[in-house]
Amino acid sequence: MSLDAMRYGFRAMKLAAIFTLISIVLGLTPGATRAGDFAALVGNHPDGASALAVEAAAPVYRPLQMEIYLSPRNQAERDQLAQDLQDPASPQYHKWLTPDDYDQRFGPTDSDVAQVTSWLTSQGFTVTQASAHERRIVFTGDVATAQNAFLVHIVQSHDGKRFSNLEDPQVPAALAPKIGYLAGLDNLGGVIWHTTIPDPPYDVQATGPLFGPTDIRTFADENPLLNSSPTKFDGTGECIAVSEGSDVDQPSLSQFNTVFGLPAFTSGKNYNEVVVDGPIGAPGSNGGGSPYAEAMLDVEYAHGLAPGAEIVVYATNAGTGNPLAVQDLVDTVTTIVTDNSNNCHTVAISWAQCGEPNAFYITLDGYFQEGAMRGQSIFVATGDVGTAGPVGGRSGCVIPRTPHIEENAASPNVTAVGASEYMASYDDNGNDTSTDANTKQKVWKFVRKSNISFLDAQGASTGGTSKVFAKPPWQKGVAGISGSHRVVPDLVLGGGNFGGNLNVHYNLKNLNKPPKVTGKLFPAPGFWESFDSGLIGGNGVPGGTVWETTGGTSIVPPQYAAIFAIVNQKAATDGQGLINPKLYAMAKANLKHLGTVGILDIVSGNNALYGVTGYNAVKGFDYASGWGAVDINTFVNAFINFNFTSDTQ
């Protein structure tokens, strides 16, 4: 017997012993399936769970905070209507639903909620919130209650930090079709923030010129829209929703607006905030430094590119101290797409999650579909990890050995956006003088390596193939797309704050000696961000406004949300819904001359990272840059004027 086979045998025996122990304690039969009146919630346990099985059974008294996300009704009818709403040959084309319309036709009923709630209560759980409109039920219990109710084994790491169910949970067969995803039986997933912020201290001024909204307007050719007469196309009358894991601080936003000549925020006029999941505390509190930085960036650049639009922040507290931070992302999306008070037609989502079971992403996609059926155009960052989208492991999210993407961006009901890089030029005042018409763009990627490991850093625009979602109709027949699954990104835009490859070797015996440096990093470009030096630390204590450089794919969704706010204003429509069917039709119709419709084809760069094989940018569509970046003025006008018919799809 080989050594590997012996190891596998010992591991299997240990796993079986743990299962037996759990079963004796709970009176369950490992691997058993209940009688025909029960059914499994398929795809509802993480891939990383099995690695914990050889460590320990979770204590039966361990408390659990759980949520059930309910499935929509009449799913076949819903899917057909979703297609019809985007089909120019259909009489339903762009006849968007209101949240109430959706509830009546496809949302769970009060009876559905009552049935699930009643069963949970009968099993010993405590239900703390239940909403048919939001399609979710929040409840608490302990490991013993969950194992008995859902017939699962829950195991944990030796240190008790990580736990997970090993099997798909089971519920009464009559309830199973009503439940899309059951959250809280594990904590192997994690939240990913796509903002690149330098290490502390944060009050060190960045050297060299950086990009702000005015520079983007010059480079990406937005000024003709903003300065048009008699109507300025700046998003006036439109509303941009941003999904955030933290509140923002107004003093820093005020300074950003002053420096870049943007309209001041006035609550109830051009700024609004919707608090998700109850009180969220001060900006950046509960270990939420990264969520706070992301929220500030999104608001600043959505406002910067569409200064006439109202910004609505859907804020929760997804700091490291929150055990349900991953669910906070879903909850912000739920609130955005079911909000009856704010009717935002464009949505920016710059954070993601990893290590979740397929049911999580499918449930999130259901909410995205609801948003699209309301006329919302939802832009999701693909991520900063190239083709190394994190996957679940026993200690949380880990870098894979084979290509993976961040699956929330692969939803066929969103536009997945990544980042490009370029060398900008500036005048003596630090203002951009370069334009996208005369500047070569590449796939964003940077690698900084050193023999002192904590100085290492790297990032690249994420792209590749989904392992969850099938290829949507609008990606079929596209040269460059193979296989049967959804491919990302769809578009990119300037986002990285560095480009290039740098190696720094220090003399460890004498650190006073200059290091040996090979390669080069350059701003590509860096972006100005204004935030509070104290709040960024994650303790909720203000320290005063500072400026820093930032970047990453996270800066791209708010920019595209702003661009399409302008599309909606200029086209005088109440939303575009999912833009991808029209985007892909327009690109295919102009494949030989993409520039004439404002699509800037990117043909250089590669998104390999962390030793995982990547993809090259090539002419036309590719897995590193999608269709490419956009020239805002040309693209907005071309998108509005494109003759989108059933013949052009």
Domain boundary pick from 162, 188, 214: 188
pLDDT of residue 8: 30
* Residue 544 placed within a domain: yes
- Find, among 93, 81, 143, 133, the residue nearest to 112 by Cα: 133
Q: Are residues 259 and 160 in the same domain?
A: no
Taking only Cα atoms into account, the Rg of the chain, rounded to an integer number of angstroms, comes to 25
- Find, among 489, 461, 492, 485, the residue nearest to 623 by Cα: 489
pLDDT of residue 14: 46
For residue 577 the two structure tokens come to: 């819904």
Which of 172-186, 213-227, 385-399, 416-430 shows the lowest per-residue confidence on average (mean pLDDT)? 385-399
Residue 412 falls in which region: left (phi positive, over 0), alpha (psi -120 to 50) or beta: alpha
For 517-549, what is each residue's pLDDT tens digit? 899 888 888 899 999 999 999 889 999 998 888
Q: Are residues 367 and 323 in the same domain?
A: yes
CA dihedral (594, 595, 597, 599) in degrees, to 10, reads: 70
CA distances from 553 to 102, 132, 331, 378, 382 (A): 32, 34, 22, 15, 7
Which of 255-269, 441-455, 616-630 shows the lowest per-residue confidence on average (mean pLDDT)? 441-455
Q: Are residues 469 and 395 in the same domain?
A: yes
The H or E element containing residue 338 is: helix 325-338
Q: Which residue has the higher pLDDT, 343 or 370?
A: 370
* Residue 428 placed within a domain: yes
The model's confidence at residue 112, banded by pLDDT at 50, 70 and 90, is very high
For 24-63, what is each residue's pLDDT tens digit? 444 444 444 455 689 999 999 988 888 887 788 999 999 9
pLDDT, mean of residues 147-154 = 95
Q: Give the separation between CA 253 and CA 300, rounded to whole angstroms.
A: 7
For 475-529, what is each residue's pLDDT tens digit? 999 999 999 999 999 999 999 888 889 898 988 888 888 889 899 888 888 899 9
Residue 521's contacts (CB-CB under 8 Å, 6 or more residues apart) are 446, 448, 498, 499, 500, 501, 502
pLDDT, the chain, mean: 89
| Per-residue pLDDT at 186 exceeds 50 | yes
Q: Is residue 165 helix, strand or coil?
A: strand
Q: Which residue has the higher pLDDT, 649 or 562?
A: 562
* Residue 323 placed within a domain: yes
For 550-561, what is each residue's pLDDT tens digit? 889 999 999 999
CATH number for the domain spanning 498: value is 3.40.50.200
Residue 420 falls in which region: left (phi positive, over 0), alpha (psi -120 to 50) or beta: beta
Q: Are residues 208 and 332 in the same domain?
A: yes
SS (H, E, C) 286-312: CCCHHHHHHHHHHHHHHHHHCCCCEEE
Q: Are residues 607 and 515 in the same domain?
A: yes
Q: Are residues 506 and 590 in the same domain?
A: yes
- Specify the pairing of strand 464-470 against strand 485-488: antiparallel
Domain boundary pick from 188, 221, 254: 188
pLDDT, mean of residues 372-385 = 96
Q: Are residues 137 and 206 in the same domain?
A: no
Q: Give the separation between CA 83 and CA 209, rounded to whole angstroms.
A: 46
- Specify the pairing of strand 56-57 against strand 154-156: antiparallel
* Residue 194 placed within a domain: no
Long-range contacts of range 4-12, CB-CB < 8 Å, 24 or more positions apart?
A: 11/54
pLDDT of residue 434: 95
- Stated pTM of the model: 0.92
Question: Using an 8 Å Cβ cutoff, are 88 and 199 in contact?
Answer: no
Q: Give the separation between CA 415 and CA 347, rounded to whole angstroms.
A: 10
For residue 519 the two structure tokens come to: 């390669």
| Per-residue pLDDT at 21 exceeds 60 | no
Containing structural domain, residue 174: 3-71+108-188
Domain boundary pick from 133, 167, 188: 188
Q: Are residues 176 and 240 in the same domain?
A: no
* Residue 84 placed within a domain: no
For residue 204 the two structure tokens come to: 């060190």
- Find, among 342, 324, 281, 396, the residue nearest to 136 by Cα: 324
The total domain count for the chain is: 2
For 352-364, what is each residue's pLDDT tens digit? 988 888 999 999 9
pLDDT of residue 19: 47
- Find, among 386, 379, 412, the residue nearest to 562 by Cα: 379
Exposure string of 143-162, with b = 16+ CB inside 10 Å and e = fewer, is: bbbbbbbbbbbbbbbeeeeb
Q: Give the separation between CA 404 and CA 391, rounded to whole angstroms.
A: 8
For residue 210 the two structure tokens come to: 């950086």
* Residue 100 placed within a domain: no
Q: Are residues 172 and 212 in the same domain?
A: no
Q: Give the separation between CA 220 and CA 222, rounded to whole angstroms.
A: 6
pLDDT of residue 201: 35
* Residue 82 placed within a domain: no
For CA atoms 376, 382, 383, 384, the dihedral sign is negative
Q: Are residues 113 and 240 in the same domain?
A: no
pLDDT of residue 265: 97
* Residue 342 placed within a domain: yes
Q: Are residues 136 and 215 in the same domain?
A: no
Q: Are residues 439 and 513 in the same domain?
A: yes
Beta strands in 322-376 (DSSP E): 346-349, 351-354
